[in-house]
Structure 1
């Protein structure tokens, strides 16, 4: 069984590095074999990659959608994950899962493994902003 994607009007999806945009109506696509897929609502851009976990996830996203860049990003990603694990030991299992997925070439799984860190980083930044105003 393949991956079933329901695309909203004008939604973007990346399949094996190719950016596709849906038309004005809702459509369903089925990916029947193994492919690198990233939905529009999951995509990060350089402007939203403002925290350590998001920056690493953004780099993983680049590797996911651009296979020629994977080899050049590998060492940087491994270093970033190691630093993140030291900074956020409570998230060590998620970070380790990202590292394992990355080592196995599962870039989407590595990307998804880091997403639980985003709300935590947001709370930390919000708290820091509140304290700086006080």
Structure 2
């Protein structure tokens, strides 16, 4: 099944670790085979990893982009996820954490990333809460 990617002018994306930037016009690409691809909006830079959920997202992203060297990333992921699971009380957030773990263990890193992104609003709300 092909993946159609519509890109804005100047939008960047990563294909199997290579950063590619679109030119000055809107364009569409059709990816015909299986590759690890992330749009700029889904890429987290190391210096942006400043919250518990981002500390989970980042190693999953690295597993996705560099599956040959996934072992240290998986160890970091498991450590960070277990830390988060110990403090999260919200049932929906816990369920998402379990879903993330299941997808990672199956090697479905992209799916795990998309579920993890759903935790960002929950985390933001909790971090901004002041009793």
Settle same-fold status: TM greater than 0.5.
Answer: yes
The correspondence of residues 90-105 of structure 1 with structure 2, limited to 5 A, is 90=90, 91-105=93-107
Structure 1 position 118 matched with structure 2 position 120: yes
Q: Is the 8 A contact 1:17 1:64 kept in 2?
A: no
Superimposed CA distance per residue, residues 71-117 of structure 1 (whole angstroms, 9 cap, x where no aligned partner): 22212212222222222242111111111111111111111111111
Supply the distance in 1 between the matched residues of 2:68 and 2:126 (Cα, whole angstroms): 35
Mind listing any 5+ residue stretches in structure 2 that lack a counterpart?
A: none
Supply the distance in 2 between the matched residues of 1:89 and 1:25 (Cα, whole angstroms): 46
Q: Name the residue aligned to 1:48.
A: 48
RMSD (Å), alpha carbons: 1.6
Shift of 1:47: 2.7
Supply the distance in 2 between the matched residues of 1:62 and 1:85 (Cα, whole angstroms): 21
Supply the distance in 2 between the matched residues of 1:122 and 1:44 (Cα, whole angstroms): 16
Mind listing any 5+ residue stretches in structure 1 that lack a counterpart?
A: none
Under a length normalisation based on structure 1, what TM-score does the superposition of the two structures give?
Answer: 0.87
How many residue pairs get aligned? The number is: 129
Shift of 1:127: 2.1
